[in-house]
Amino acid sequence: MINFYKNEFTNPDDLRMFDKARDEGIETFEDRLEKMMPECGFGELGTCCIMCYMGPCRIDPFGDGPRKGVCGASPDVIVARNFLRSAVGGACSHMGHAREVALLLKGIGEGEIKEYSIKDPEKLKRIATAHGISVDGKDINEIAVDVADKALEDFGRQDGQPMNWIKARTTKREYEKLEKNGLVISNPHNEVEVAMHRTSMGNDADPVNLWIATLRMGMVDNYAGLMPATDLQGVIFGIPQPQETMANFGVLEKDSVNIAVHGHSPVLSAKVLEMSEKLESEAKAAGAERINVVGICCTGNELTMRFGIPMAGHETQAELILLTGAVDAMVVDMQCIWPSLTTIASCYDTKFITTIPFVKNPDAIHIEFEPQKAGEKAQEIVKLAIEAFKARKKLKDENVMIPKRTVKGITGLSVEALVGLLSKVNPDDPLAPVIDAIKNGDVFGAVGMVGCPNPKLRYTSMAERMARSLLNKNVLIVTTGCVTHILAQAGFLNSDATEKYCGGKLKGALSALGKAMGFGAPLPPVWHLGSCVDNSRIYDLLAALADKIGVYVSDLPVAGSAPEFITEKAVSIGSFFLGTGVLVHVAPPPRVFGSPVALKILTEELPKITGGKVLVETNPEEAAEGIYKHITEKRSKLGI
């Protein structure tokens, strides 16, 4: 078995569930990862090419093996092409998400979709105004259609003009910088088409040109994916507000109907939650105390931010949550849905329900989710869960084992919520307290810790140990995605962590802010900003601070970290932040080490162009030290 690195942050409940899996003869990712070792060295270097059928070509850039592919492609070209295609995959995931939300908003506005409504009309009006849409004398539904059309317009744009979200949401200073660096995008679908074309065999053989295209794909990811998705979901489902929630396996309840929602879109999960409340009497009639909806992965982030539902676990824990035997239905939408889940679900008669046409599993129950029939479909899903609960109780819960540990955390700190809280400190200039704290060193800098829980690094407690080290250096942390689940389970999202982990200056600042905001306790040292599409909130916050100070985002004493990234989405998100000039730390190593040109661009040339730079480090304390050094340099250049 894998030799786990155990420390104070290792979740003992994870280990208990692995023991249960072994006792019951059930295979988990732990077993499959072990069988993969050692992993393919060519793949890790990024020098395996499958772009045509003269290959696969495996290039050895350091030894005596082949130095070029059959077509003559160098390792620099192969690495750049592979990385660009990863960025395309990530950007497409977020674009598809945003486009579906825009279509939902349009359907609501036109009256074709009656299952949803506009929860935050003021947010909608602010978006409309930013896009130059008049709101005077207009019905809110008319404004909704106009805003949705603005989002959808870019996908068919052929006039070469900048995308609407770039024009509306980028400060003049940042826009001019993007334009100078060739990073202003017009049509995101065209950008994807060109990227796939240029990386096919016999096209672009200039690695520098290919890396520029990767940065452009980062812009696609943010301005056609992250930002519009976050904005429009705020309109439909409401802007997250601070609230307390619970995390870890213990949020499951033995005597309740447990429904775990997993994936990324609140369109489905919010309706399942609503229908669970309506059908609670049926659950009680079946012998249940109630219907308990818990969140996994980014859907968990979405629902906990808005409705306070408990956070059961991150992407990698989805298998372990099923192993409890207490999940009556796992309902999934898109992204990060492992094929293995249906196998484990079948061992416990858990109803595993897929809902998206392009996310199917032959062993799952497929209930096609349509916004026009959202209530009907959600009711069908919840009733299946109730039936599964009845079957579980007939077996007297003989296979159920729920670890009892739970951890409290504060969620819902959207940008609007943060500004609202800061207004209690300084009503005339809400950002002033943060800027003052940065200037005087109480907040030495800030790091966005985002992304996934990678099985290859998870049991080194990479994310937790980095967080501890950074906080001790008075560096504030904001978080999105599955890393939030990790940090919540380790207790970093509550006030106790401020006392336990923060350096003296940061502790004092968070204590003062918490008192001024009426929390009655210090603010947590890790601020939860949302799911992976909500990484745009991090940029919004940085852009607002930079504009207020009168500098570029790249001048700020900040950094980003994907300490255990897995997906292509992390590649495209990271490419966006590199394009805006932010240091991006990643682990495990990205598949670029087979290309000397890639390493030079990402660590030496890019800082001269955008200000962005890649830091690769798998030791958590050394990664934190590298980030701290970068922040120190930025502070010095700002004269603070």
List the alpha helices (DSSP H) in 558-619: 568-580, 596-600, 606-609
- Identify whether residues 456 and 360 lie together within a single domain: no
Q: Is the peptide bond before 357 cis (omega within 30 degrees of 0)?
A: no
Q: Are 77 and 47 in contact (CB under 8 A)?
A: no
> Where residue 506 falls among pLDDT bands split at 50, 70, 90?
very high
Cα Rg of the chain (Å, integer): 24
- Identify whether residues 587 and 448 lie together within a single domain: yes
Distance between CA atoms of residues 207 and 84, nearest Å: 10
Tokens 């890396």 label which residue? 211
- Identify whether residues 321 and 446 lie together within a single domain: no
Residue 429 belongs to a domain with what CATH number? 3.40.50.2030
Phi/psi of residue 365, nearest 5 degrees:
-85, 125
pTM: 0.96
> Is the predicted pLDDT of residue 519 greater than 90, yes or no?
no
Residue 193 belongs to a domain with what CATH number? 1.20.1270.30
**pLDDT of 3:** 52
- Return the bridge partners of 247, or none: 311, 407
> Is the predicted pLDDT of residue 1 greater than 50, yes or no?
no
CA dihedral 398, 386, 318, 344 (to 10 degrees): 50
Q: How far is CA 223 from CA 128, 186, 216, 219, 220, in A?
A: 16, 10, 11, 6, 5
Q: Are strands 311-313 and 291-296 parallel, antiparallel or unpaired?
A: parallel
> Where residue 517 falls among pLDDT bands split at 50, 70, 90?
confident
Of 237, 269, 296, the last residue of a domain is 237
Distance between CA atoms of residues 330 and 478, nearest Å: 29
Distance between CA atoms of residues 514 and 434, nearest Å: 13
> Is the predicted pLDDT of residue 4 greater than 90, yes or no?
no
Q: Which tens digits make up the pLDDT trace of 164-216?
A: 999 999 999 999 999 999 999 999 999 999 999 999 999 999 999 999 999 99
Q: How far is CA 373 from CA 271, 296, 330, in A?
A: 10, 24, 20
The parent domain of residue 386 ranges over: 249-394
Q: Residue 465 falls within a domain, yes or no?
A: yes
Q: Residue 6 falls within a domain, yes or no?
A: no
- Identify whether residues 213 and 152 lie together within a single domain: yes
- Identify whether residues 46 and 107 lie together within a single domain: no
Tokens 């799911």 label which residue? 531
- For 449, the token pair is 């810790």
Q: Residue 69 falls within a domain, yes or no?
A: no
- Identify whether residues 262 and 170 lie together within a single domain: no
Average pLDDT, stretch 281-302?
A: 97
Q: Which tens digits make up the pLDDT trace of 415-446?
A: 999 999 999 999 999 999 999 999 999 999 99
**Amino acid at the residue 195:** A
- Identify whether residues 596 and 458 lie together within a single domain: yes
Of 394, 426, 451, the last residue of a domain is 394
List the alpha helices (DSSP H) in 24-159: 29-36, 41-45, 75-110, 121-130, 140-153
- Identify whether residues 94 and 213 lie together within a single domain: yes
- Identify whether residues 463 and 557 lie together within a single domain: yes
Q: Among residues of the chain, what percentage have pLDDT more than 90?
A: 96
- For 546, the token pair is 């930079």
Q: Which tens digits make up the pLDDT trace of 304-342?
A: 999 999 999 999 999 999 999 999 999 999 999 999 999
> Where residue 459 falls among pLDDT bands split at 50, 70, 90?
confident
Of 237, 263, 291, the last residue of a domain is 237
Tokens 């939650």 label which residue? 273
> Is the predicted pLDDT of residue 368 greater than 60, yes or no?
yes
Q: What is the DSSP letter of 359?
A: B
Distance between CA atoms of residues 623 and 563, nearest Å: 9
Q: Are 559 and 536 in contact (CB under 8 A)?
A: no
Average pLDDT, stretch 465-472?
A: 98
List the alpha helices (DSSP H) in 199-317: 207-221, 227-237, 266-278, 280-285, 297-307
- Identify whether residues 159 and 218 lie together within a single domain: yes
Q: Are 382 and 388 in contact (CB under 8 A)?
A: no
Distance between CA atoms of residues 629 and 636, nearest Å: 11
Total domain count, the chain: 4
**Amino acid at the residue 110:** E
Cα first-last separation, the chain: 50
Average pLDDT, stretch 503-531?
A: 94
Distance between CA atoms of residues 276 and 361, nearest Å: 24
**pLDDT of 62:** 82
Q: Are 605 and 588 in contact (CB under 8 A)?
A: no
- Identify whether residues 29 and 139 lie together within a single domain: no
Q: Residue 63 falls within a domain, yes or no?
A: no
Q: Are 481 and 300 in contact (CB under 8 A)?
A: no
**pLDDT of 521:** 93
- Identify whether residues 453 and 504 lie together within a single domain: yes
How many residues are present in the chain? 640
Q: Which residue has the higher pLDDT, 66 or 144?
A: 144
CA angle 626, 3, 623 (to 5 degrees): 5
Strands of 242-386 (E only): list them: 243-247, 257-263, 291-296, 311-313, 329-332, 351-354, 365-366
